[in-house]
Amino acid sequence: MKNLKAVDPQVYELIKKEEERQKEVLEMIPSENYASRGVLEALGSVFNNKYSEGYPLKRYYQGNKIVDNLELLAQDRAKKLFGVPHVNVQPYSGSPANTAVYFALLEPLKDKILGLSLAFGGHLTHGAPVSISGKYFKVIPYHLSDKGLIDHDEVERLAVEEQPKIIVCGATAYPRIIDFKRFGEIAEKVEAYLLADISHIAGLVVGGVHPSPVPYAHIIMTTTHKTLRGPRGAMIMVTDKGLEKDPELPDKIDKAVFPGLQGGPHDNQTAAIAVALEEAGKPEFKRYSEQVVKNAKTLADELLKFKFDLVSGGTDNHLLLIDLTTKKANGALAAYALEVAGIVVNKNAVPNDPLPPFYPSGIRLGTPAITTRGMKEKEMIKIASWINLVIEEIKGEELPKEKESRSYFWKEFRRRVKENERLLEIKEEVRASCSKFPAP
Ligand SMILES: Cc1ncc(COP(=O)(O)O)c(C=O)c1O
């Protein structure tokens, strides 16, 4: 990065610092990963300089012969990897991609989306009232059962009662297998489109450790930067089943992405997606996804030994959701203390959470990034014991009920936590362990 250093030492310095941070901590936010150097090089390539509104061989600008080849290559790799007849690789990210699907198929303020409630692990774009999905379309939320599992009977009942045009399955904070077959049957019964949002689990689907939605869903959306380990971005796929239901689907989706919602595609992003898809097709990637799940299961088993309350009792995929209520700890305070100890997770609401989203009862953590670094079961056992020690240190810390007292409490809490010797010792142990597992 010698050019950057010369041209902008401030940004150069910040990048170096962030690189250092990512090396020294356990990155356990389940939606994050370390993209390969190859992916990052493609992302930083001269494709950044090109404008290519339109689609391959149908562009609004000259000079796109090479970009056409690139986009066709990315499409081809995605089609082969997932086994679908049509893919759009242009969405800037997951949220615009979901929005494009709605824009393609729904009449605003009239048609209905049936999606998993945000408070129960769905994504904002699955119909949360604060998101465009909830503001422009009618939304019916479904929920999890008391066991923390998707309540398919409720999904079916709501689908029959409400006749949604789109049913969304897939989640942001759900640790179990998604039963695409059951969702497919429900969608069929009410003649709805089934949109499988596999943003979190795409890498696991490709690696064969999570069932594929391809035989059951009409449309599949995935981000490319989570378990798939590519650049930030997204893809919308149409399955054979989708084509059968609606032969116009590819055209509707493509038109919704461009010119409906977006202008020029980010060709450098397309290049990096193509690289990630190439990497994901390799046998090493299958081994990687298998290890992601093995690591998450080991972590779950170890945390259960320390009597942590895991939503749904464990995990089948790459993530865990911990309800800290029984540990007398709060998710926001825990996430802060864990970061001080070098373990980066996110605070998260748990099903039927009595606390507000900014101070929820739980934390969400996952294994995609630490598995990329080469960590295995042995390291998971250690990580579980560190997590336990951190939570023990902050047990009983209670956020004041009155909003006015909270900022003073936070300030004091942060000071105490930053000076906590046990946490600082763990931070050093984490740093030493991380140094044995280089980030790409
Ligand atoms: C299930 C799901 N869908 C969509 C998105 C949105 O992706 P992005 O953040 O790229 O807009 C996310 C991101 O967390 C997600 O988890």
Rounded to the nearest whole angstrom, what is the distance from the C-alpha of residue 323 to the centroid of ligand 1? Answer: 22
User: With bands split at pLDDT 50, 70 and 90, how would you rate the model's confidence at 99?
Assistant: very high
Burial of 350 (0-12, 13-18, 19+ CB in 10 A): buried
Per the CB < 8 A criterion, the answer to whether 335 and 346 are in contact is yes
**pLDDT tens per residue, range 9-65:** 999 999 999 999 999 999 999 999 999 999 999 999 999 999 999 999 999 999 999
Identify the pLDDT of residue 404.
Answer: 84
**pLDDT tens per residue, range 375-400:** 999 999 999 999 999 999 999 998 88
**pLDDT tens per residue, range 224-272:** 999 999 999 999 999 999 999 999 999 999 999 999 999 999 999 999 9
Q: From the CB of residue 338, how many other CB atoms can be counted at a distance below 10 Å?
A: 28
User: With bands split at pLDDT 50, 70 and 90, how would you rate the model's confidence at 167?
Assistant: very high
Nearest-CA residue for ligand 1 atom 6 is: 94
**pLDDT tens per residue, range 273-302:** 999 999 999 999 999 999 999 999 999 999
Give CA–CA dist 170/199, Å, rounded.
Answer: 8
pTM given for the model: 0.97
Tokens 């990096």 identify what position?
272
Residue 259 preceded by cis peptide, ω within 30: yes
Can you read off the two tokens belonging to residue 38?
Answer: 């190859």
User: With bands split at pLDDT 50, 70 and 90, how would you rate the model's confidence at 421?
Assistant: very high
- Enumerate the domain spans of the chain: 44-280, 291-434
Pocket of ligand 1 (CB under 6 A): 31, 93-95, 98, 123, 125, 170-172, 197, 199-200, 223
Backbone φ, ψ for residue 318 (5° rounding): -100, -5
User: With bands split at pLDDT 50, 70 and 90, how would you rate the model's confidence at 406?
Assistant: confident
Backbone φ, ψ for residue 116 (5° rounding): -70, 130
What is the separation of C-alpha 248 from the centre of its chain, rounded to a whole number of angstroms?
29
Give CA–CA dist 110/330, Å, rounded.
Answer: 40
Active site residues: 51, 53, 197, 223, 226, 232
Identify the pLDDT of residue 401.
Answer: 81
Q: Is 121 helix (H, G, I), strand (E, B) or coil?
A: coil
Q: From the CB of residue 339, how many other CB atoms can be counted at a distance below 10 Å?
A: 18
Strand bridging mode 362-366 / 58-59: unpaired
Give CA–CA dist 304/335, Å, rounded.
Answer: 19
Segments in 215-305 forming alpha helices (H): 240-245, 249-255, 267-280, 283-305
Tokens 């670094």 identify what position?
373
291-434 architecture in CATH?
A: Alpha-Beta Complex (3.90)
Does 405 have pLDDT greater than 90?
Answer: no
Identify the pLDDT of residue 326.
Answer: 97
Does 84 have pLDDT greater than 90?
Answer: yes
User: With bands split at pLDDT 50, 70 and 90, how would you rate the model's confidence at 402?
Assistant: confident
Closest to 173 (Cα-Cα) out of 326, 31, 339: 31
Q: From the CB of residue 147, how many other CB atoms can be counted at a distance below 10 Å?
A: 11
**pLDDT tens per residue, range 321-337:** 999 999 999 999 999 99
Identify the pLDDT of residue 3.
Answer: 96
Please give the CATH topology (third level) of the domain spanning 44-280.
Aspartate Aminotransferase; domain 2 (3.40.640)
Per the CB < 8 A criterion, the answer to whether 220 and 191 are in contact is no
Q: Which of 33, 93, 99, 125 to mutate to test the pocket of ligand 1 (most atoms within 8 A of CB)?
A: 125
Q: From the CB of residue 5, how many other CB atoms can be counted at a distance below 10 Å?
A: 13
| Average pLDDT of the residues of the chain | 97
Identify the pLDDT of residue 403.
Answer: 82
Identify the pLDDT of residue 399.
Answer: 84
